[in-house]
Amino acid sequence: MQSTSIPERFRPYVEATEEVARRFAAAGRSLSLVGGSVRDALFPGPTGTAAPHDLDLTTDALPAETERLVRGWADDIWTQGERFGTIGCRKGTQVYEITTYRAEVYVPDSRKPEVTFGEDLAVDLSRRDFTMNALALRLPDMELIDPFDGLGDLAAGRLRTPLDPEISFGDDPLRMLRAARFAARFSLEPDPALTAAVERMHGRLSIVSAERIRDELDKIVMVDVPSVALWFVVRTGLAGEFLPELPGLALEQDPIHRHKDVLAHTLAVVDKTSPDRLLRLAALFHDIGKPRTRAITDGGVSFHHHEVVGARMTRTRMEALRYSAADTDTVVRLVELHLRFHTYRLGWTDKAVRRYVRDAGPLLDRLNELTRCDCTTRNAAKARALARRMDELEARITELGEQEELRSLRPDLDGNQIMELLGIGPGRAVGQALNFLMELRLDEGPLDEAAAAARLRAWWAEQQ
């Protein structure tokens, strides 16, 4: 093992662990800060060197002893992870996860790790995902432990596993997906042996729960340049295990029409969007209906109604990944509406603006951004023209919104008023009347109560 004096930037981490470290030392137990906290202290980001809210520590104490050592000191203790060796606690605002030295090994065809507790820090570090996370700061003497040259790999821009990658990925197949994220987040080049292992073992991801895969995908789309990770999962075959629609976008270029690759376009759109998780998921899914709707005609390549087909495919995939109903509905709606802007080629009437805003609802700002980012053309004139049209639309929305409160469009009469005017009770007719009034509102703008009542009575007479 390597050790060196600790740089000053470690001081916030040491101060955050000083009291708990003394308790373990007094009991003759080892305690070390591990993983991302140590890595981030050595390579701090733009937010500085303050200790993170959550700290991961490891110890040779068994979970029951760990709980005993923090009781009376911690303000709160939780033991949900005890069977995996982890005791959680909170002191003030600082949260600690303290885990007994362990090795996690998945048994064939099982989604549950078998946990074996150990007594050696180096062995514990060897079972971690990547060398840059197999770092430890032994407390309280502040000895830096780096048995697998994680610092050297970070400095060299290299992503490696502490042990043979097949062993590491066999312990937890989700690490193959984490490799994609870390490569993108830290601008690391995956070691050739690591990449080859993913290519051979990607089928092993099938034993990982959909929820864990979903959480990792969410983290991937939130890195600065998600396309780096997404290209990796496509090239290695990993995407086929959880998001087969993604490699399906790599359409062959037609030699006559020279249509550009949809996968490259999609990843460019994801990169262009702001770091909004649901917006980036919508960018990832927005064109997945193209392969199923692709047609080559005399007029070129077309993808008619790919937004409708893509919305259905998006719902199916997000449900398979166990996304919440709210998240799924948001992303599906953005996919469904992402071409709406382009249907108004001849100018935007007030009626068209109202319908666009009404259909987008609370997703309007996200939809506008997705529409802008969807333009990845290298034709500068075409890009400028689309930007001008979007600028014009947003200006019209603002102008009309100041007059009509577009974001809260509703019929000019409510259900109670309708029943009173028409002399009817609750039922289907009230819903039909509300729909009529809403269409009237969209077509003509707001009416006063008397005018709306007159139009409603005329419509009702026609229905009779």
Are domains 8-151 and 243-408 of this chain identical in fold? no
| Angle, CA 148 vertex, CA 99 and CA 131 arms, to 5° | 65
- Confidence band for 210, pLDDT divided at 50, 70 and 90: very high
CATH class of 243-408: mainly alpha
| Domain layout of the chain by residue ranges | 8-151, 243-408, 415-463
Rg (CA), the chain: 29
Asked if pLDDT for residue 436 goes beyond 90, the answer is no
pLDDT in tens, 334-359: 999 998 887 765 567 777 888 888 88
User: Token match 């999962």: residue?
Assistant: 233
Tell me which residue of 94, 89, 143, 88 sits closest to 121, measured CA to CA.
Answer: 143
8-151 fold? Beta Polymerase; domain 2 (3.30.460)
Calculate the average pLDDT of the chain: 86
For residues 138-144, give the mean pLDDT: 85
Backbone angles phi, psi at 349, to 5 degrees: -75, 165
- Confidence band for 463, pLDDT divided at 50, 70 and 90: confident
- The C-alpha atoms of residue 200 and residue 196 are separated, in whole angstroms, by 6
pLDDT value for 255:
44
Backbone angles phi, psi at 370, to 5 degrees: -60, -40
Q: Are 257 and 296 in contact (CB under 8 A)?
A: yes
3-state SS record for 85-148: CEEEEEECCEEEEEEECEEEEECCCCCCEEEEECCCHHHHHHCCCCHHHCCEEEECCCEEECCC
pLDDT value for 3:
43
- The C-alpha atoms of residue 85 and residue 113 are separated, in whole angstroms, by 12
- How far is residue 254 from each of residues 67, 244, 286, 304, 374, measured CA to CA in Å? 64, 22, 21, 17, 21
From 75-84, 232-241, 318-327, 343-352, the region with the lowest mean pLDDT: 343-352
Asked if pLDDT for residue 277 goes beyond 80, the answer is yes
- The C-alpha atoms of residue 245 and residue 266 are separated, in whole angstroms, by 12
pTM: 0.81
